Structures are given as structure tokens and as C-alpha cells.
Amino acid sequence: MNVEKTINWGILGCGKIAHKFAKDLEFVPNAKLYAVASRTIEKAKDFGHNYHVSNCYGDYETLSKDPNIDVIYIATPHVFHYENTIMCLTHKKAVLCEKPFAMNANQVKEMIALAKKNNVFLMEALWTYFLPHYRYVIDIITSKKLGEVKTLKADFGFSMSFDPSSRVFNKSLGGGSLLDVGIYPLFTALSTLGYPDEIIATATLGKTGVDEDCTVALHYANGATASLYSAVIKETSTEAILELEKGTILINSRFQEPSSVTITKNGKSELIEFEVPTNGYNFEAIHVQEMLQQNRTESTIMSFEKSLQLITLLDTVRNQIGLHYT
């Protein structure tokens, strides 16, 4: 693919996150929001109007078949990620699919197998991994400048009034704190400490049968530990604190979105700030475009293995807390 080629994006599902992503796409060089699709044509046109998109479709399949589209961003509730991704991959469209990638590891394995079979790019939209402050933290850990990570504490809790129909509480839409926000503390553990040797999880299941909060303890063979918490009924500080052999890294609130980092070493603290003029979704989009320009079918950062580890961890936690989606 030519380096200067414009990448034509399609957005599937015109909800809240789709708006944020569409706004940030305007900051991505060589990106064009070419088409959008909603379950109703009125909503698609309304959404498209905001971003000067002329190709607006009233169903998802037409989008997946549009020959002018290079990559489709899937922004539907969790339970539809699998079927939407399979449809796009079947029509040989590259896919950036929102988190969680799917509802369980079997679905993720099928999605990856189809991407490989059809030789098309597929990536989970774990946007945090691409943010400047998070890359900075990963670099410190990988370089071992502060030694090995000994402990991680991370939380992500917000308070939403109970609404059984919202995707956050509705079990048939994949509701609950773990898949919605608990995925971020778990991902932080995976990306800084790796896959754990022991997992202990507890949760409070609410009236709709989904976890309103969830606590996870991870243990590693080298003695490292992680204490993770998520909630949809309680606001928490939403920070991540890593204690390493030679210092501490605090990823300031909210740690999963563009933020700052405080490094403490030898009793002295330094605040490192990062200028991000967007919501932060442009970074993952830039990476996807780079991968497409290089004709890759798998991300060099958010690899299939990482997504498989993440969904396996989520499945294990769900089994322990007795949260089963049908």
C-alpha cells in the first residue's frame, strides 16, 4: 500500500464512543471517515452529518460490503462484537473492534482464525496501550530502569444510576463492571506484569445478575501481586500505582485515558505531563493505519496473543464470580 494513500474508515454503530472516535479521526493524517452505519438510516444520516460523511447506511451489512472501505471500527455493545467482526472479516474488511474483543475466548479464537484465513487486519481497540503516557510507563518497565515490578494497584469505578435497560446493567447486552471498565486494570496487569499464576476474584452481583463491582487479586511466581477493582455503582480514584524495586510509578487519574505520570525515586517525585489535544482515540487509529500501510494482518503492539490472554483472564474471573452470559 502506498504510504500516502488515504485510509477510508467505516464506523459500525453510532453510539457514544463512535462519536468520540469520529472526532479524533479528524486528527489522523491520511484518514477519511468514508461511511457510517446504524440500525436506522435516520440515525446514520444524523451521525454522518456531524462529520461531513456522505455515505450513510441504515444497516451494518451494506457497510461491510462497501468496496471503498479499508477498515471498519466496530462500536456496538460487547455482545455484538463477535457477529459484527465475523461479518466484516467475511467481506475482507480490516477491523478495529471495541473492547472487550468478544464475550469469551472461543469467540476471540474464531475471529482471529477468520482474520488469518482471509488475510485481513484485526485488532482489539485497547486504546490505552497507544496513549503517550502509557507508552512512557511501558518503556520504563521494559528498560528495567526502575527494576522489576513488585506490586500493582489499579481501580476503575464510576457511579451510574440503576437503569436495567442500559448496556451497563443489562445482562443481555453484556452488562457489568468487569467487561466495561474492569478490563482496564486487568489489562494494566497483563501489560506490566504478564499473565498471572494465580487469580482470585469476588464480586457483587446486582438485581440484573451482572457484577456491580468486582475485586481481583493476581499472584505471580516471582512474588509480584496485583490488586484490581472495578465498579459501576461507585466512583473510585481510577489510578494505577506500580511499585518497582527502585521507585514508584503513579499513573494519575484517569489512568486509562490521556493522563500524566508521577515517578518517585530516592524520595523525590517528578510529574510528567503529556499534551494530548484529543480524546486520545487518534493514537490507536494512527497505529492501525501504519499496520495497513505495512500490509500487516496483526498489530505489532496489541497482538492476537495479548487479546487472547486478556479474554482468558476475563473468562477466568467471570467463572469465579459466577457471571455467565448466554
Ligand X SMILES: NC(=O)c1ccc[n+]([C@@H]2O[C@H](COP(=O)([O-])OP(=O)(O)OC[C@H]3O[C@@H](n4cnc5c(N)ncnc54)[C@H](OP(=O)(O)O)[C@@H]3O)[C@@H](O)[C@H]2O)c1
- Binding residues for ligand X, per CB under 6 A? 13-18, 38-39, 43, 75-78, 80, 98-99, 125, 127, 167, 173, 180
- Minimum Å gap between C-beta 234 and ligand X is 18
Q: Where are the beta strands (DSSP E) in 43-93?
A: 55-57, 71-74
Q: How far is the CB of 248 from ligand X (least distance, A)?
A: 26
Rounded to the nearest whole angstrom, what is the least distance from the CB of residue 285 to ligand X in the complex? Answer: 12
Cis peptide before 254 (omega within 30 of 0): yes
Q: Can you tell me which residue has the cell 468514508?
A: 34
Q: Is the CB of 109 or the CB of 167 nearer to ligand X?
A: 167
Smallest separation (angstroms) from ligand X to the CB of 181: 8
CA distance 117 to 127: 26
Residue by residue, DSSP assigns 214-249 as EEEEEE-TTS-EEEEEEESBS-----EEEEETTEEE
**114 alpha carbon, distance to own chain's centre:** 20
| Residue nearest ligand X by beta-carbon distance | 15
Measured over the CA atoms of residue 193, residue 199, residue 205 and residue 209, the dihedral's sign is positive
| Residue 57: CB minimum distance to ligand X, A | 10
Q: How many residues does the chain have?
A: 326
* Of 224 and 287, CB closest to ligand X: 287
CB 69 within 8 A of CB 53: no
| Alpha-carbon dihedral sign for residues 57, 62, 68, 69 | positive
Contact yes or no for 96/125 (Cβ under 8 A)? yes
Write down the least CB distance from residue 294 to ligand X, Å: 24
- Expressed in angstroms, the distance from the first to the final Cα of the chain is 41
* Minimum CB–partner distance for residue 39 and ligand X (Å): 4
Backbone angles phi, psi at 149, to 5 degrees: -75, 130
* Residue 121 vs 169, nearer CB to ligand X: 169
Choose between 101 and 304: whose C-beta lies nearer to ligand X.
101
Cell of 290: 501504519
CB of 230 to ligand X, least distance (A): 12
Q: Coil, helix or strand for 250? A: strand
41 vs 271, beta carbon nearer ligand X: 41
**In this complex, which beta carbon is closest to ligand X, that of residue 15 or of residue 194?**
15
Q: Between residues 16 and 207, which has the closer beta carbon with respect to ligand X? A: 16
If the CB atoms of residues 102 and 140 are measured against ligand X, the closer one turns out to be 102
Is the CB of residue 210 less than 8 Å from the CB of residue 169?
Answer: yes
* Minimum CB distance to ligand X smaller for 73 or for 247: 73
CA-to-CA dists, residue 141 to 199, 245, 246, angstroms: 22, 11, 11
Rounded CA separation 154/156 (Å): 7
Q: How far is the CB of 2 from ligand X (least distance, A)?
A: 30
